[in-house]
Structure 1
Amino acid sequence: MSQSIPTSLLRAFLPLVLICVVLLMSGCGGGGGGDEDRSSTSSGNADPGQAPPPSYEPPPSDSNTGTGSPSLSPGDYASIQNCPLVGGSSAAEFKLLFINLDSAPYFDEIVSDAIENQFGALAPFVDYFSHFGFYTLETEGQANLGCEKGQDEAAFSCDNSKIHQAIAEQCEVDDMQGIIKVVIADMGYGASGGEIIYLGSDRSWPDSSYALQQLRNIVVHEVAHNFGLADLYDGGINTDGSAVAGWPSEMSRQWANLDGPGCSKWCNNYKPASEYTQSANASCATFTDRASCTSFNRTDAGECKTADGDSYACCAWSEDTTDDYFGSQCTPVWGTEDIGQDCLEGTGCFYGGAYGNNSWRPVKTWDDSIMYGAGHSEAFDTVSEQALREAIRCCGTSDDSTASCSAFRETFNNFLLEYQPYKSRIGSCGTR
């Protein structure tokens, strides 16, 4: 795993990083500076089962992360009163509040599906189901709440502070950041993760069955971001051949399900770059000039050709970065070759993650993980599941005060404070 950049420097640049994330990832998840050559993550009505568009985090208007914020104590959980409890227990450590904005279409069905078929059926959430309490709230006024769609009409978000105010007018909440909030509105297909999760529904969908197909597993996908998991899918490719700029590698590799070359978090060894020979884009590292690099496996229009199950098979050029695995300024846009050895069962080490920057992910394709393709996969990959299990155990059960959770909590609190653009605290982990 790469060495972290200094905390003071990261804090200084984190707001800029988040703004860049929004600009690059809203809509089709990246590719700033060029058109993208496929629409698997675009907005609009998707075919049933299609993966949701990328999550992105709007700049928080009232986030209270910051330097010097004290850590939460074990057993310190948020509470909700005066809002209907629709599932789980009011004594549960984690509170999820589903907000029905302007009588969102299929709201009841979406909430029931999330509780029963996601939290109540998918590991590891099903194993900790008693630690989650589910609430609902109805509010109205999209315009007054500052709600608008993102770039290219993908996903939507509102003014977080106004949503918090709307919650406070109806519910008694003693720790607003400590609860998980999911706003559902008639805003079309799309979702965005953050301090508040925004989930689009659509009145034009023919029935609830279709709606649930469109939004399959998307709630747990977005909630998993709050617990420290990154998206594993690619987010587009620049037609000018430049590398997609997402999170810096030093930041993206801090997420539990991303790593540096070799994936030491879940693999014990890996093959050297000289043996990276099987993928359609294995030649990328051999190109020493921009023209050769950016023309490989591209159409005359600059569009990236695909191979191996619709995965990108071209190269990208970085003007100022030599990749720490390939040793070249020319790298694959997206890798499907496994370099990991002796890895956690069901995983490997594949190039690309966090929208295509130079991190490494544990699984290969859309079907392999809810964090890769929520609408395609039936489960979390092993790495993501284990990370979720540890976060839930140490931030939302009686184990949070045990010695076995001490080191985890310290590391996770630092991650939330320094690297997590989505949420400042979860359960009894995080900061005030």
Structure 2
Amino acid sequence: MMSPCIRTLLLMVSICLLSACSGGGGGDDSPSSPPGSSSTDNGSSGDSGGSNGGDSGGSGNTGTTGLLPGDYVSVGNCVPFEGSENAELKIFFLNINDAPYFDELVNNAVFEQFQAIPPFSEYFSHLAFYQLDVGSGEDFNCKGTNQGLNGGDLLQCDDEKIHQEILAQCDVSDINGLIKVAFADSPNGGSAGEVIYVGSNSNLDQETVLEKQTNTVIHEVGHNFGLADFYGGGINKNGDAVEGWPSERSREWRNLDGPGCSKWCNSFKPASEYTQSETSVCPTLTTRDQCVSHNRLEDGDCTKDENGVYQCCAWSETPDDYFGSNCAPVWGTEDIGLDCEAGAGCFYGGAYGNNSWRPVKSWEDSIMYGPDDSTAFDSVSERELRKALTCCASSEDGTAACEDFREEYADFLANEQLWKQRLGSCGVGSAG
């Protein structure tokens, strides 16, 4: 199992193209663009949300319309290899130019992930799986984006060209309504967005590739369902806080929250009682020099404990809204949550920065933290996935119980999940 420190963590978001997010400030270890969803690099699990063009529609686009219960994408001329053509969600696996181990990766995704891991396993009959070969030497502009943590590359290709290939083979009523996972021969990490890209390295043997891609597909699809990553985005060696997504954006994601985690906890302990961790001293440091020198090496690297957890502090010009101090931990492993739902707590850090709070502590606690370290979703992520599957991809979507959820979720897709605007019968669809 791979150590977290060598993971390539991704998720640069196309939201940044709209000037809505700000990065962490020029440190050597922070992503050069703010991140947002997840992926792998044939040796590490990570994330990258965003698409590089193509026709994924935003809420302001013309030619789009709100979706009604029961309004699902239809696919003609192509037959699913697993599931019914009448299933609510269609998942397409795309083989770009004979990607290595494509069949093995697809079978693993379908039968070891979607069919085996709750809550997708409970809704397996609502999923239809297709596979297509795309390209015969064509150039899909696939490249590494150099946006991953510690210089790791993300794999991204041209969404529009991928869409054109699908439409040339299948009659699809709304291309953006499909969940698309494209595999390409690449050593670079993958990225999640309107199209999910996963690199499969022909220089590695099949067993190694499958091991390194453990639960990657279901993790990436989790981003399409509005789930954020829980891991951190590195540190800034100059001592500035890694902001990741701004608080007002990151906390809107289904499995992140503000101080106290009111989405899944009923109360929380005050900052005065945050005393159980190495970094609890950070809020007491009143000057920038004190803050940025605490548990730092000469080159600005942050010291770590035996579990690889950062032990240093970071400085922000704006006082943190929980600690009330300009100096705060780089990352938190102390639970402030009280009376939380079973299996959940409230830990400092998420969405690639230290301005959000997550429900679990460590890599092994959730597929949304470390897909190759965990075998299940955490309780909060599972709950949110189940809500979306029920109200956006089942016959329950038209019930009174789903009415409020659908309205709230459509707003989330339109305003936060800017690169994936439709999920089943939730969100917006093509007018034609």
| TM-score normalized by the length of structure 1 | 0.89
Question: Are 2:39 and 2:192, in contact at CA under 8 Å, matched by a contact in 1?
Answer: no
Q: 2:20 aligns with which of 17, 20, 23?
A: 17
Matched, 1:314 2:307: no
| Match of residue 327 from structure 1 | 324
| Match of residue 9 from structure 2 | none
Matched, 1:269 2:257: no
| Match of residue 36 from structure 1 | 29
Return the letter of the residue paired with 2:336: I
| Match of residue 190 from structure 1 | 189
Return the letter of the residue paired with 2:59: G
Deviations 1:53-98 (A, max 9, x none): 2323234442221238532000000122223412111110000000
Return the letter of the residue paired with 2:29: E
Deviations 1:250-307 (A, max 9, x none): 0100111000000011011100000001111111111121111111111011001112
Q: 1:348 aligns with which of 345, 349, 373?
A: 345
Question: Are 1:43 and 1:153, in contact at CA under 8 Å, matched by a contact in 2?
Answer: no
Distance 1:349 1:119 in 2: 28
Distance 2:239 2:137 in 1: 39
> Could you tell me how far 1:142 is from its partner in structure 2?
7.0
Matched, 1:409 2:421: no
| Match of residue 6 from structure 1 | none
Q: Secondary structure of 1:122's partner? A: coil
Return the letter of the residue paired with 1:391: A
Which consecutive residues of structure 2, in runs of 5 or more, have no partner in the other structure? 1-13, 32-37
Distance 1:32 1:182 in 2: 32
> Could you tell me how far 1:32 is from its partner in structure 2?
5.0
Return the letter of the residue paired with 1:364: K
| Match of residue 167 from structure 2 | 168
| Match of residue 221 from structure 1 | 219
Q: 2:82 aligns with which of 69, 87, 109?
A: 87
Matched, 1:134 2:132: no
| Match of residue 27 from structure 1 | none
Matched, 1:145 2:140: yes
Return the letter of the residue paired with 1:297: N
Distance 2:108 2:420 in 1: 24
| TM-score normalized by the length of structure 2 | 0.89
| Match of residue 419 from structure 1 | 416
Question: Are 2:145 and 2:155, in contact at CA under 8 Å, matched by a contact in 1?
Answer: yes
Deviations 1:335-363 (A, max 9, x none): 00000011111110000000123000000
Matched, 1:391 2:388: yes
Which consecutive residues of structure 1, in runs of 5 or more, have no partner in the other structure? 1-10, 25-30
Tell me the number of residue pairs that the alignment of Structure 1 and Structure 2 aligns: 404
Return the letter of the residue paired with 1:181: K
Distance 1:33 1:383 in 2: 33
Return the letter of the residue paired with 1:63: S
| Match of residue 280 from structure 1 | 278
Return the letter of the residue paired with 2:169: Q
Q: Name the % identity.
A: 52
Question: Are 2:89 and 2:127, in contact at CA under 8 Å, matched by a contact in 1?
Answer: yes
Moved over 3 A (4+): 11-14, 41-45, 58-61, 67-70
Distance 1:398 1:105 in 2: 38
Distance 1:43 1:134 in 2: 21
| Match of residue 427 from structure 2 | 430
Question: Are 2:393 and 2:425, in contact at CA under 8 Å, matched by a contact in 1?
Answer: yes
Matches within 5 A, 1:201-220: 201-206=200-205, 208-220=206-218
| Match of residue 4 from structure 1 | none
Q: Secondary structure of 1:300's partner? A: coil
Question: Are 2:144 and 2:189, in contact at CA under 8 Å, matched by a contact in 1?
Answer: no
Q: What's the RMSD between the two structures over aligned residues?
A: 2.2
Question: Are 1:369 and 1:377, in contact at CA under 8 Å, matched by a contact in 2?
Answer: yes
Q: 1:366 aligns with which of 363, 367, 386?
A: 363
Change beyond 3 A, Cα 1:361–1:142? farther
| Match of residue 157 from structure 2 | 158
Return the letter of the residue paired with 2:251: R
Question: Are 1:54 and 1:235, in contact at CA under 8 Å, matched by a contact in 2?
Answer: no
Question: Are 1:230 and 1:255, in contact at CA under 8 Å, matched by a contact in 2?
Answer: yes
Change beyond 3 A, Cα 1:162–1:299? same
Matched, 1:57 2:50: yes
